[in-house]
Amino acid sequence: MTILSSTIEAMMNETRLDGNAAAGPLSELFARDITTALATCAKCGRETPVGTLFDYGQAMGVVLRCNGCEGAMLRLVRTPGSLRLDPSGVSMLIVATG
Amino acid sequence: MIRGASSGIKAIRDVSGSATSSIPRLEWKVATVVAVRDETRRARTLVLDVPEWPGHLAGQHVDVRLVAEDGYEAQRSYSIASAPGSAHVELTVERIENAEVSPYLCDVLQPGDGVEVRGPIGGYFVRRPDDRSPLFLVGGGSGVVPLMSMLRQHASSGSATSVRLLYSARSHDDVIYKNELNAIVAAGRARVELALTREWPSDWKGFRRRIDRAMLEEVAPPASDGGRAYICGPTPLVESVANLLVEIGYDAASVRTERFGPTA
Amino acid sequence: MSDRPFIARGFHARRPTGNAARIPPGQYETRDFPVLSAGPTPRTPLDRWDFTITGSNGQTIRWSWDELSALPREQPTVDIHCVTKWSKLDTKWGGVSVDTLLGLARERAVTETGFVVAFSDGGYTTNVPTADVTGGKAWIALEYDGAALAAEHGGPARLLIPHLYFWKSAKWVRGLRLTERNEPGFWEQLGYHDRGDPWREQRYQGDP
């Protein structure tokens, strides 16, 4: 039986970044900086600033996951000739305009 | 060129006043290295002249892109170390063994060279100049870099806001900005605590271990002061400290985090 | 603004010398084994783990961890290529050939189709033509470099399809769905290629 201890699990996830790291790629698509935006997870309803979401994409693209349920909220890939965004994991995005 | 400059000025006004702002299209620009400054055996500061730089907020970063002759490309993000309003944009880069980008920035890049940057980026991990809430900064390794921008901003302001920095490094030799931190403390502008995790001088009076709950209870301003905490560094440190601050009473909304990835 | 990129003086990819013929176009050799993943490391206890193959007719065959571990194992040594441009040569694996599993599935009336979707713990999926996982080209890998496959590299079991870009070698794999039509998986939905042959540089949808 293999169960990862919480320490080992923490080590395994140490490669994850957060929404701050995605801000550059996201700026290629969004007119406003959305890292301060509140995003509601379509799976579990948790509302989190985009800057805090876990970013797992690394070199392949942006994969922002919910801090609560780890559901993929926002995914972004840059291909030659297009930017592809799957926002289906976000049911609401609120950007304060001041 | 001119179009870029005028939309840049608009961005400065918006950014200081509102929660988020319309940003001009972030474009890659070729910055010129004006000077380099070795901070420690592993860390070097690059002083850059970035064309049409619109100014930045403390805590923001830039993306750096390197393209080789054969088209090979690598891109990384680096936090801005300089305070807002500085003449040049300063990045402090820590050399990671066998890595792609940091050895180039630390060992190859020279004054006069060009380097592509895009920024400033990020509105979340930011400390605004008019924010007077007590400030608690926690940095691990190179995570101290964006915190230094915040500390420099505070040090040169007249504000009486309470500012504390808890900075964890492997050894005393690895502490970046040592002299400047001493000067800031001597001038009474902030309280700085160092935690050395692997080795320390025999007469070391600071902490001799990784950041833990007891250390935070000792160093962090009480949550009831209504302060804000910024935590930056390797992902495991950031997540651990964030959880601990919430455990000792901080509201999750008062804690902002920036993860740098695996421990180097 | 010029379209020509700014060339960084003195910058080049770190590349060990030799082996050029084994490195596909646009790739660079690494001696490391970089860890990339699209999500957190799953942790299914082995006594609750299973591997299934489901046909388009709904028929399913299932193996428990013990049952899969008991199947005949091969020890392929292969080169692997990641779409992020690193290639690693002579990697050593131990695993059950997908041909073995599909053969057993056929005996249980699981009908084969033209396409396969591999699915993993955590929700990751990837699609490949069936022809790319048959004929000795693919394994369910349980070992790497002589030891049980580590969780960070996809353990306890991952799909291994070395002749395609490595995002097709789904980590933490839990089964295969045999589909009539091509169904783009996690990265393919976002523009990565349905097949992913590194020797033809099939990185993105639309690459020939």
The ipTM assigned to this model is: 0.90
Residue A31 sits at φ, ψ, to 5 deg, of: -75, -30
Instruction: Convert the pLDDT of each residue in A18-62 to its tens digit.
Output: 999 999 999 999 989 999 999 999 999 999 999 999 999 888 999
> Which of B21, B122, B262 is nearest residue A14 as measured by Cβ atoms?
B262
Cβ contact (<8 Å) for A77 and C38? no
CA distance C19 to C36: 24
CA distance A47 to C183: 31
Confidence of residue A12 (pLDDT cuts 50, 70, 90): low
pLDDT of residue B5: 35
Closest CA to C49 of C158, C125, C145: C158
Token duo for residue B205: 């009076």
Helix (H, G, I), strand (E, B) or coil at B16: helix
Residues with Cβ within 8 Å of B100's Cβ and at least 6 positions away in sequence, in order, are B66, B74, B76, C13, C14
Decide if B249 is inside a domain: yes
Token duo for residue B227: 């302060």
Average pLDDT along chain C: 94
The string of DSSP letters for B85-116 reads: T-SSEEEEEE--TT-SSHHIIIII--TT-EEE
Decide if B141 is inside a domain: yes
Residue B85, burial from CB neighbour count under 10 angstroms (0-12, 13-18, 19+): exposed
Q: How many residues does chain C have?
A: 208
> Which of A1, A9, A82 is nearest residue C46 as measured by Cβ atoms?
A1
| In contact, B247 and A27? CB cutoff 8 Å | no
Q: Which residue type sits at B56? A: H
Q: Does B243 touch chain A (CB under 8 A)?
A: no
Best to test chain C binding among A60, A64, A74, A77 (most C CBs inside 10 Å): A60
With a cut of 70, say whether residue A7 has pLDDT above it: no
> Residue A32 carries which DSSP code?
B
Decide if B109 is inside a domain: yes
Instruction: Convert the pLDDT of each residue in C58-74 to its tens digit.
Output: 999 999 999 999 999 99
With a cut of 80, say whether residue B23 has pLDDT above it: no
A→B contacts (Cβ < 8 Å), by residue, are 10-11, 13-21, 23-24, 27-28, 31-37, 49-52, 95-98
Decide if B208 is inside a domain: yes
Please identify, in words, the CATH class of the domain defined by C46-200.
alpha beta
With a cut of 60, say whether residue B135 has pLDDT above it: yes
- Which helix (H) or strand (E) covers residue B235, if one does? helix B235-247
> Residue A81 carries which DSSP code?
T
Residue C70, burial from CB neighbour count under 10 angstroms (0-12, 13-18, 19+): exposed
Residue B152 sits at φ, ψ, to 5 deg, of: -65, -40
Distance of CA C2 to the CA centre of its chain: 39
> Residue C149 carries which DSSP code?
P
Instruction: Convert the pLDDT of each residue in B54-100 to its tens digit.
Output: 999 999 999 999 999 988 899 999 999 999 999 999 999 999 988 88
Dihedral sign, Cα of residue C40, residue C32, residue A58, residue B32 = positive
> Which of A4, A58, A65 is nearest residue C151 as measured by Cβ atoms?
A4
Cβ contact (<8 Å) for B68 and C32? no
Q: Which residue in this structure is represented by tokens 């797992």?
A: A56
Task: Express the helix, strand and coil content of chain A in percent, nearest 5 each.
Answer: 25, 35, 40
Residue B121 sits at φ, ψ, to 5 deg, of: -125, 140
With a cut of 80, say whether residue B44 has pLDDT above it: yes
Per-residue pLDDT, averaged over A2-23, amounts to: 68
CA distance A23 to A35: 6
Confidence of residue C17 (pLDDT cuts 50, 70, 90): low
Residues with Cβ within 8 Å of C208's Cβ and at least 6 positions away in sequence, in order, are C200, C202
Distance of CA A45 to the CA centre of its chain: 15
Cβ contact (<8 Å) for A34 and B23? no
Query: Taking the CB of residue A64, how many other CB atoms lie within 10 A of it?
Result: 28
pLDDT of residue B194: 98
**Can you give the pTM of this predicted structure?**
0.91
Per-residue pLDDT, averaged over B207-215, amounts to: 98
pLDDT of residue A35: 96
Closest CA to C109 of C174, C180, C51, C54: C54
With a cut of 90, say whether residue B20 has pLDDT above it: no
Residue B89 sits at φ, ψ, to 5 deg, of: -95, 120
Q: How far is C187 from chain B (nearest CA, A)?
A: 21
Q: Does C25 touch chain A (CB under 8 A)?
A: no
CATH of the domain at B29: 2.40.30.10
Closest CA to A73 of A96, A97, A50, A98: A50
With a cut of 50, say whether residue B3 has pLDDT above it: no
Q: Which residue in this structure is represented by tokens 């060129």?
A: B1
Q: C-chain residues within 8 Å CB-CB of B26?
A: none
Q: Which residues of C96-135 are buried (b: 16+ CB within 10 A; e: fewer)?
A: bbbbbbbeebeeeebeebebbbbbbbbebbbbbebebbbe
Per-residue pLDDT, averaged over B7-36, amounts to: 61
pLDDT of residue A4: 39
Q: Does B250 touch chain A (CB under 8 A)?
A: no
Q: How many residues does chain A have?
A: 98
Query: In the Cβ-directed half-sphere of C64, how many Cα atoms lie within 13 Å?
Result: 7
Decide if B129 is inside a domain: no
Domain positions in chain A are: 17-94
Q: Structurally, how many domains does chain B consist of?
A: 2
B108 shares a domain with B73: yes
Per-residue pLDDT, averaged over B220-240, amounts to: 95
Domain positions in chain C are: 46-200
Confidence of residue B263 (pLDDT cuts 50, 70, 90): confident
Cα distances (angstroms) measured from residue A5 to each of A8, A16, C45: 5, 18, 12
Helix (H, G, I), strand (E, B) or coil at B147: helix
Q: What residues does B36 pair with on adjacent strands?
A: B46
Q: Does B224 touch chain C (CB under 8 A)?
A: no
- Which helix (H) or strand (E) covers residue C99, if one does? helix C98-107
Instruction: Convert the pLDDT of each residue in C134-178 to its tens digit.
Output: 999 999 999 999 999 999 999 999 999 999 999 999 999 999 999
pLDDT of residue B6: 35
Per-residue pLDDT, averaged over C13-25, amounts to: 81
CA distance C56 to C59: 7
pLDDT of residue B91: 98
pLDDT of residue C111: 85
- B71: region left, alpha or beta (phi > 0 left; psi from -120 to 50 alpha): left
With a cut of 70, say whether residue B12 has pLDDT above it: no
Instruction: Convert the pLDDT of each residue in B151-187 to its tens digit.
Output: 999 999 988 999 999 999 999 999 999 999 999 999 9
Q: B-chain residues within 8 Å CB-CB of A51?
A: 122-125, 256, 258
CA distance C19 to C108: 44
Per-residue pLDDT, averaged over B129-150, amounts to: 97
Domain that holds residue B145: 135-259
**Which chain B residue is nearest to residue C10, measuring alpha carbons?**
B108
> Which of B21, B77, B118 is nearest residue A21 as measured by Cβ atoms?
B77
CA distance B1 to B6: 9
Pairing of strands B191-196, B163-169: parallel
Per-residue pLDDT, averaged over C66-92, amounts to: 96
CA distance C203 to C208: 10
pLDDT of residue B14: 32
Looking at chain B, the whole-number percentage of residues with pLDDT higher than 90 is 84
With a cut of 80, say whether residue B2 has pLDDT above it: no
Q: A-chain residues within 8 Å CB-CB of C46?
A: 1-2
B111 shares a domain with B217: no
pLDDT of residue B18: 40
Q: Which residue in this structure is represented by tokens 């990862």?
A: A4
Average pLDDT along chain B: 90
With a cut of 50, say whether residue B42 has pLDDT above it: yes
With a cut of 80, say whether residue C84 has pLDDT above it: yes
Token duo for residue B115: 């380097």
**Of B54, B87, B121, which closes a domain?**
B121
